[in-house]
Each structure stands twice: as structure tokens, then as C-alpha cells.
């Protein structure tokens, strides 16, 4: 048994913008479940940045619909999702699976047609893997992050070194 099974993403990309959304679309992916903080925008930002809008547009142009799946308080992530004009599941409780599964339902999608993408192993990757969707990790978008996320980064490094990703 591989103890890293739930922690290992299918692949790590430098950023959302560098993911092969055209190929994912060809493979039947129709729904992108996206973390916000340091995946689609700055950590703990109250608004999207230009990069966020560009990523959503780029993904949608491949016929893939986007949904935010955020552990953030409902007010902040709901406002961000509204500005980006995409649906949102707040209080997603990642690494639990309830938020991811709810997002798939909200999107009228299936596990086979969905991917989860986020920047953290111990929330996004585990939630995606345990929900049974294809799961990708991106490197953190900006250096700046809140202290309790910084605390987890050294542990991520150990997992990544041991599980080779
Ligand atoms: Mg994040």
C-alpha cells in the first residue's frame, strides 16, 4: 500500500495558465474545480486579479466550465466567484470530499468529466483524489501566503521528495 496515494497529484504544473486545457478537453474534461488562494489569485485576496480572469477565459475557451471550490468564508469566495462570473462552493472543508462532490453536483457534471486543481497537498490534492476526480497540483502563484499555509509547506516538501513529484 502506498501511503502517498491520496497525496500525489496526477501531475504538477507551474501554474493554471500552463496546464494543457486543450488536451484535457480532448480527453473529455468538461468541468474544472478550482481552488482560489494562490491557485487562481493571490492568497487571501478579496478580489480576483487580471491573471484570474485570463485563466478562467482560457479554460472556458476549451469548452470547460469552471467552479471555485474554496475553504474560505462564504462572503469572500462568493464575491470573488461573482466577479469571475462562475459558480462557487464555499466552506468546502478540503481535504474532506464534501465540497468537491457538491461542486460536481452544482455543475451538473460527473467525476469522469471533472478535474480538481489546487496549490496545496493537504487540502486540494487529498480532496480531489479522495473524491475520485483527476487531480492536478500547481505551484503557489505568489510567494506571499498566510502563516498557517506557510507552516504546511515544509511538510509538503517532504511528501513531494518521498513520493517523487
Ligand atoms: Mg490554495
pLDDT digits (tens, 9 = 90+) for 27-38: 999 999 999 999
| DSSP annotation of 111 | S
Dihedral of alpha carbons 80, 109, 115, 97, sign = positive
- By percentage, how much of the chain surpasses pLDDT 70? 99
Average pLDDT of the residues of the chain: 96
Distance 22 CA to ligand 1 centre (A): 23
By residue count, the chain amounts to 165
- Tell me if 67 sits within 8 A of 103, measured CB to CB: yes
Edge-first strand listing for the sheet containing 88-89? 11-13, 134-138, 114-118, 31-34, 65-69, 88-89
Please tell me the predicted confidence (pLDDT) of residue 72: 87
Q: Which residues contact 27 (CB under 8 A, 6 or more apart)?
A: none
Distance 44 CA to ligand 1 centre (A): 9
- Tell me if 93 sits within 8 A of 131, measured CB to CB: no
Distance 69 CA to ligand 1 centre (A): 10
pLDDT category at 121 given cuts 50, 70, 90 is very high
What's the CATH number of domain 12-163, 2.130.10.10, 1.10.1660.10, 3.40.50.1000, 3.40.50.10860?
3.40.50.1000
| DSSP annotation of 133 | S
Distance 2 CA to ligand 1 centre (A): 25
Amino acid at each position: 500500500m502506498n501511503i502517498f496515494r491520496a497525496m500525489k497529484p496526477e501531475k504538477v504544473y507551474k501554474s493554471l495558465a500552463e496546464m494543457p486545457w486543450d488536451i484535457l478537453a480532448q480527453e473529455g474534461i468538461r468541468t474544472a474545480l478550482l481552488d482560489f488562494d494562490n491557485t487562481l489569485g493571490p492568497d487571501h485576496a478579496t478580489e480576483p486579479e487580471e491573471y484570474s480572469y485570463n485563466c478562467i477565459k482560457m479554460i472556458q475557451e476549451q469548452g470547460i466550465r469552471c467552479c471555485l471550490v474554496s475553504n474560505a468564508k462564504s462572503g469572500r469566495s462568493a464575491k470573488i466567484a461573482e466577479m469571475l462570473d462562475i459558480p462557487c462552493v464555499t466552506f468546502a472543508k478540503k481535504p474532506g470530499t464534501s465540497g468537491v462532490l457538491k461542486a460536481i453536483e452544482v455543475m451538473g457534471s460527473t467525476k469522469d468529466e471533472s478535474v480538481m486543481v489546487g496549490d496545496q497537498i493537504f487540502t486540494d490534492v487529498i480532496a480531489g483524489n479522495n473524491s475520485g476526480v483527476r487531480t492536478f497540483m500547481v505551484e503557489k502563484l505568489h510567494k506571499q501566503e498566510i502563516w498557517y499555509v506557510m507552516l504546511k509547506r515544509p511538510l509538503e516538501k517532504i511528501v513531494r521528495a518521498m513520493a517523487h513529484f
